[in-house]
Amino acid sequence: MGFSRTPTFTRSRDLPGRCDVAVLGGGLAGLSTALRLQAAGLSTIVFEAHGHAGGCAGYFRHRGFSFDVGATTLVDFAPGGVGDELLATTGAPALDAEQLPGYVAWLPDRVVTLHREQSRWHAERLRTLGDTRAHRRFWAELDRLAEVFWAASRSGIRLPVRTPADALHDLRAVGLRHLPLVRHLGRTMGDALRAHGLRDQDSLVSLLGMLVEDTVHSTVDRAPLINAALGVTIRGAGLTRHRGGMHGFWRVLVAHYRALGGDLRTGCRVQRVTGHGAASRRGSLLGHLRGGDAGFTVHTARGNVEAGVVVSALPAPITAQVAAGTPVAAGLRPYLERDEPDLGGAVVVFLGVPEHEVAGQEFTHHQLMQDYARPLGEGNNMFVSVSSPGDEVSAPPGHRAVMISTHTELAGWQGLSEAEYAARKQELGQRLIEHARRVYPRLGERAVVRQVGTPRSYERFTWRPHGAVGGVRQTVRNSNQFAVPHRTALPGFWQVGDTTWPGLGTVACVLGSRLVAEDVLRHAPAGVRS
C-alpha cells in the first residue's frame, strides 16, 4: 500500500525547549485541539509520527491521485454544526467544499436513496422499507432521539460525568424537558426494533445494520440506541466533501494552524512522556511561563520538549505505552483490557480510473450489501466513494479517485506468511471491485492506480496496534458514561480522539477537541490567556 511518508508539512528546525501545550498526534482530534488552544493564546506543538497530518482522516498521494485512507467526508460542518463551530471559533477560512445530497444504499433486493434533505428521506424510507404504523412509530422515536442528542452534542455534552459541574452542564445541554430520554442510554437499536415488532424485517434491519457498522462500528443488537440514532442520521447533520478530499481539507487546516503560530512537527514520533504533572488543578498548570517547573517532558528522536500540559490524541493503547510508569497508563489499563475484543480493522481498495468508468451516477457515494443472511463486513457492507467531477486535486484531468472500504476482523490478518498475506489481499481487493461493479459496471478495467490497504498497512504506516482503526465498537458497556474519559489521574494530562468519548468519526473527534480545549483553558491561569 502506498501511504506516503513524505514529510509534506515538516519544517526543518530545532525543537523549541518549551511550550504551553504538547499535543501528541496530528489527526483530526489532535490538530483541532491544538488549533483551538493556539487561537486562545497558548503556545502549542503537535507531534505527528506520520509524514503529514491526518491520522484516520488522512490521505496518501500516488501518480497524481490523492486518496482518502479513512474518512472520506466531513460530518456536521454545515452552518451551526460541530465542525462549523470549530472553524468559527478559531477564525479558520471557509472550506472549499460541497455539501453532498446524500448517498445510495444498494441492498440485495432494493435500492434506497439516503437523501440529505429530510422530507425526501422521510418519504423514501417509508416507500422502500415499509409504511405501517409500526414503521412510523419506530422512525418517530429514532428521529426524536437524534434531534435532541444532535443538539446536545452541538452544545458540548460532557461524558463520562465526573463532577457536579459536568452533570449540570449536561442537564442544560439536553434540556430539562428532554431529560426523560436519558432512560434510553441502556437500550440498544435491537431493543427498539423489537419493541416495535420490526426486528425480523430483513431490509430495514440490514440497512440500519450497515449504517450502524459504518458509524459506531457495532451491530444493531449491541449498539447503544442513542449513539446508533445519531449514526443513522448523519446525512441530515450534513456530509461534506472538501475539494481534493481530505488532502484539500488538511492543507487548509494546517495552513491556518501555522498562521496562528502553531508548530506542527511531522515525522516526529513521541517515544515517551515523563513528568509529575501539575501540582494541583487549581495551581499553575502552565507555571513554566512564570519561570516555574514544567509538568512534563516529551521525548522524541529529535530532542525533548518541556510542556505545562500534554494532550494525547493517540489511540488509548499507544497513550498507555508512551506514558508508561505514570498514573495515566495505570488508569487506562482496565479500559484497554475491556475494549480489546471490540477492536476492528478495515480493508480499502484505492483506484485511479478514467472518468468514463464512474460515469452515469448522480451520487458519488454508495453503500452496498450482497446478502441479507451473511454477517456484515469483508465486502458484505462496503462503502464506495468517488471524487467529484472536475476535482483535479484528487485526480488528474479526465480521471477520478475511487475508494472502496469494508470492515474486517484483525485476527484474520495475523500470523499469515507473506505469500498467504499477498493472496488474501489480492482476493479480497478483487472481490470488492467486482461487488462495486453493481454501481459502476466498468470499474477498474483500465485503472491507472490499483492498491489495497489492510490492517497490516495501517499498522505499518500509522503504528496503530495490529492496524486497529476507528476506535472500539460501541456497546452499552463501553460508551457514553463508560467511555474512556478525557481527564486522567495525572493533572495536566488529557486524552482526546476516537478511542475516548465521544468515539468514532470526524464529528466525534471535533467535539472531543472542544471539550478538552475548554477543560484545559478552565484550568489554565487567567493571566496566561491573551
DSSP 160-203: S--SHHHHHHHHHHH-GGGGGGGGGGG-BHHHHHHHTT-TT-HH
Q: Are residues 296 and 373 in the same domain?
A: no
Distance, in Å, from the CA atom of 488 to the CA atom of 246, rounded to the nearest integer, reads: 31
Mean per-residue pLDDT of the chain: 91
Q: With 50 as the cut, is the pLDDT of residue 483 above it? A: yes
What pLDDT score was predicted for residue 65? 97
Burial of 380 (0-12, 13-18, 19+ CB in 10 A): buried
| Greater pLDDT, 288 or 428 | 428
Is residue 112 one of the residues assigned to a domain?
no
What pLDDT score was predicted for residue 236? 61
Section 159-178 average pLDDT: 92
Q: Are residues 180 and 279 in the same domain?
A: no
Is residue 95 one of the residues assigned to a domain?
no
Half-sphere exposure of 370 (CA within 13 A, CB side): 18
Q: Are residues 226 and 261 in the same domain?
A: no
Q: Are residues 199 and 266 in the same domain?
A: no
What pLDDT score was predicted for residue 278? 63
Is residue 69 one of the residues assigned to a domain?
no
Q: With 70 as the cut, is the pLDDT of residue 155 above it? A: yes
Q: Are residues 250 and 334 in the same domain?
A: yes
DSSP 470-511: S-PPP-TTTSGGGSPPSB-SSTTEEE-STTSTT-SHHHHHHH
DSSP 408-425: E-GGGGSS--HHHHHHHH
Q: Are residues 362 and 401 in the same domain?
A: yes
Query: Which helix (H) or strand (E) segment is 316 a member of?
Result: helix 316-322
Section 423-447 average pLDDT: 97
Q: Are residues 206 and 310 in the same domain?
A: no
Q: What is the DSSP letter of 93?
A: P
Structural domain that includes position 385: 345-467
Distance, in Å, from the CA atom of 25 to the CA atom of 340, rounded to the nearest integer, reads: 21
Tens digits of residue pLDDT in 205-258: 999 999 999 999 999 999 999 999 999 987 665 789 999 999 999 999 999 999
Last residue of a domain, one of 189, 209, 237: 237
Q: Are residues 410 and 303 in the same domain?
A: no
Is residue 359 one of the residues assigned to a domain?
yes
What pLDDT score was predicted for residue 13? 65
Section 494-511 average pLDDT: 92
Q: What are the distances in angstroms from CA 51 to CA 141, 156, 233, 446?
A: 45, 32, 34, 30
Q: With 70 as the cut, is the pLDDT of residue 528 above it? A: no
Encoded amino acid at 80, one letter: G
What pLDDT score was predicted for residue 492? 94
Name the β-bridge partners of 408: 345
Q: With 50 as the cut, is the pLDDT of residue 9 above it? A: no
Q: What is the DSSP letter of 427?
A: H
Asked if residue 466 lies in contact with residue 456, where contact means CB atoms within 8 angstroms, the answer is: no
Half-sphere exposure of 509 (CA within 13 A, CB side): 29
Q: What are the distances in angstroms from CA 106 to CA 365, 367, 498, 505, 527?
A: 11, 6, 28, 23, 57
What pLDDT score was predicted for residue 277? 76
Q: Are residues 355 and 326 in the same domain?
A: no
Q: Are residues 350 and 447 in the same domain?
A: yes
Q: With 80 as the cut, is the pLDDT of residue 3 above it? A: no
Q: Are residues 201 and 250 in the same domain?
A: no
If you search the block for the grid coordinates 435491537, which residue do you land on?
190
Section 29-39 average pLDDT: 98
Asked if residue 332 lies in contact with residue 318, where contact means CB atoms within 8 angstroms, the answer is: no
Q: Are residues 454 and 382 in the same domain?
A: yes
Asked if residue 66 lies in contact with residue 393, where contact means CB atoms within 8 angstroms, the answer is: yes
If you search the block for the grid coordinates 460508551, which residue do you land on?
479
Last residue of a domain, one of 237, 255, 281: 237
Domain at 484, CATH number? 3.50.50.60
Is residue 422 one of the residues assigned to a domain?
yes
Asked if residue 93 lies in contact with residue 255, where contact means CB atoms within 8 angstroms, the answer is: no
Strands 102-106 and 365-368: parallel
Asked if residue 339 lies in contact with residue 472, where contact means CB atoms within 8 angstroms, the answer is: yes
Please tell me whether the peptide bond between 334 and the residue prior to it is cis, using omega within 30 degrees of 0: no
CA 444 to chain centre: 28
Q: With 50 as the cut, is the pLDDT of residue 343 above it? A: yes
Lowest mean pLDDT among 297-301, 441-445, 446-450, 465-469: 465-469
pTM: 0.93
What pLDDT score was predicted for residue 470? 83
Tens digits of residue pLDDT in 88-125: 999 999 999 999 999 999 999 999 999 999 999 999 99
What pLDDT score was predicted for residue 12? 44
Q: Which distant-in-sequence residues (6+ apart) come within 8 Å of 529 by Cβ?
A: 40, 41, 42, 521
Distance, in Å, from the CA atom of 298 to the CA atom of 293, rounded to the nearest integer, reads: 14
What pLDDT score was predicted for residue 293? 60
Section 4-20 average pLDDT: 61
Is residue 70 one of the residues assigned to a domain?
no
Domain at 349, CATH number? 3.30.519
Name the β-bridge partners of 209: none
Tens digits of residue pLDDT in 279-298: 444 344 555 444 456 689 99
Is residue 257 one of the residues assigned to a domain?
yes
Is residue 46 one of the residues assigned to a domain?
yes
| Greater pLDDT, 235 or 351 | 351
If you search the block for the grid coordinates 415488532, which residue do you land on?
197
Asked if residue 404 lies in contact with residue 111, where contact means CB atoms within 8 angstroms, the answer is: no
Most confident of 30-34, 172-176, 359-363, 505-509: 30-34
- The helix-helix angle for 82-90 and 133-154 (nearest 10°) equals 20
Asked if residue 518 lies in contact with residue 507, where contact means CB atoms within 8 angstroms, the answer is: no
Q: With 50 as the cut, is the pLDDT of residue 360 above it? A: yes
Q: Measure the CA dihedral 503/325/44/24, to 10°.
A: -40
Per-residue confidence at 53, pLDDT binned at 50, 70, 90? very high
Q: What are the distances in angstroms from CA 424 to CA 67, 209, 384?
A: 22, 26, 20
Burial of 177 (0-12, 13-18, 19+ CB in 10 A): exposed
Looking at the structure of the chain, the number of domains it has is 3
The count of residues in the chain is 530
List the one residue out of 518, 522, 516 whose CA is nearest residue 485.
516
Query: Which helix (H) or strand (E) segment is 523 a member of?
Result: helix 505-523
Tens digits of residue pLDDT in 135-144: 999 999 999 9
List the one residue out of 412, 402, 284 whose CA is nearest residue 349.
402
Helices (H), 16-132: 28-39, 82-90, 118-129
Coil, helix or strand for 376?
A: coil
Burial of 21 (0-12, 13-18, 19+ CB in 10 A): buried
Distance, in Å, from the CA atom of 28 to the CA atom of 83, rounded to the nearest integer, reads: 11
Per-residue confidence at 332, pLDDT binned at 50, 70, 90? very high
Asked if residue 482 lies in contact with residue 369, where contact means CB atoms within 8 angstroms, the answer is: no
Asked if residue 432 lies in contact with residue 347, where contact means CB atoms within 8 angstroms, the answer is: yes
Last residue of a domain, one of 427, 450, 467: 467
Please tell me whether the peptide bond between 224 and the residue prior to it is cis, using omega within 30 degrees of 0: no
